[in-house]
Amino acid sequence: MGQRTLTMNETVIQKMKTYYDKTLDNTPQGAIFRARTDSAVITAYKSGKVLFQGSHAEEEASKWETNASSANTFKQVNANKKTSYSPPPSLFTANHIGSDESGTGDFFGPVTTAAVYVTSEQIPILKQLGIQDSKAINDQVVQSLAKEIATMEIPYSLMILHNEKYNDLQAKGWSQGKMKAMLHHSTIQRLTEKLGNTPYDGILIDQFCQVPVYMNYLKSEQKTVMDNTYFMTKAEHYSIAVAAGSVIARASFLQEMERLSNIIGYKLIKGASSQVDRLIAKIIEEKGKPALNEIAKLHFKNTEKAAKYM
């Protein structure tokens, strides 16, 4: 199980409680609230510590990492989220681009990002095909659907952040949130270059952090967001383009996991569970710790947890 802890002030914790209102669970002793989402279990304690646990704990925590010290920051970014960058409902049935990523909550394997362009005419066809959020379907179906999308000659762009580069960027101070922002930006840019003058009504990114944070990530690398770009949490439930992006990104991640498994000689396990910790220990004992650099995200707590199995 992946795990991440942030420290928040009382105002931000109350805002988080409101945000997770529909997923609130029984509150444990010493806590303000506990929520169980599809991505993670979030527990906010009276001490100000907020614990994120689950296969996508890192991803869920990244939504809040810039609010760890200021309630005013939260109010500012939340206001922006609700105004300038919320997609109009008409976008979901129009020609548009959708972008999503995979692999962010997995210790082993890269981070993959896919941006897909769909026309209004293709939307009902993709829905009938069964395109949906890749987390809601099994791996075999994901791979099958990705092949179907390819046969339809739907324009898309795919980028893979391999583990060596991921670890190098992380060592240089890049957060996973910044890596994802730059991946989305580059993937979308490549797709728009491929499309040329093909018209589209907007670009929708499955939101993983507050919008101003995303903008600052781009600004730090002298990049700016493209016109008519929108952000939305759980966008894959509304946009077939984002759902298709999630399928392609996930299929690519699965292919990479198979490739890396062949390289290391072990069947790599998805997620960040105790089973992953045990496998890490085996790999380190047989091949040495440096072997992880090519196949894993080294900053995950699993690297340390594996020590108890050696």
Task: Give the span between the Cα atoms of 158 and 34, in whole angstroms.
Answer: 36
Highest mean pLDDT among 33-42, 48-57, 87-96: 87-96
Contact 97, 200 (CB under 8 A): yes
Contact 265, 77 (CB under 8 A): no
Amino acid sitting at position 134 = S
The candidate with the shortest Cα–Cα distance to 146, out of 124, 163, 130, 159, is 130
Domains of the chain: 2-82 (3.30.310.10), 89-259 (3.30.420.10), 263-309 (no CATH)
Instruction: Specify the higher pLDDT residue, 76 or 47.
Output: 47
Contact 180, 113 (CB under 8 A): yes
pLDDT in tens, 258-288: 999 999 999 999 998 899 999 999 999 999 9
pLDDT in tens, 165-204: 999 999 999 999 999 999 999 999 999 999 999 999 999 9
Task: Give the span between the Cα atoms of 63 and 209, in whole angstroms.
Answer: 4
The candidate with the shortest Cα–Cα distance to 208, out of 233, 183, 245, 172, is 233
The reported pTM is 0.74
Q: What does the pLDDT average to over 220-226?
A: 95
For 13, the token pair is 């914790």
Amino acid sitting at position 19 = Y
Pairing of strands 229-232, 111-118: unpaired
For 85, the token pair is 């960058």
Other CB atoms closer than 10 Å to residue 71's CB: what's the count?
16
pLDDT in tens, 88-132: 999 999 999 999 999 999 999 999 999 999 999 999 999 999 998
| Reported confidence tier of residue 75, pLDDT bands at 50, 70, 90 | very low
Task: Give the span between the Cα atoms of 310 and 297, in whole angstroms.
Answer: 19
Three-state SS for 34-71 is: EEECCCCEEEEECCCEEEEEECCHHHHHHCCHHHCCCH
Task: Give the span between the Cα atoms of 272 and 72, in whole angstroms.
Answer: 33
Contact 125, 241 (CB under 8 A): no
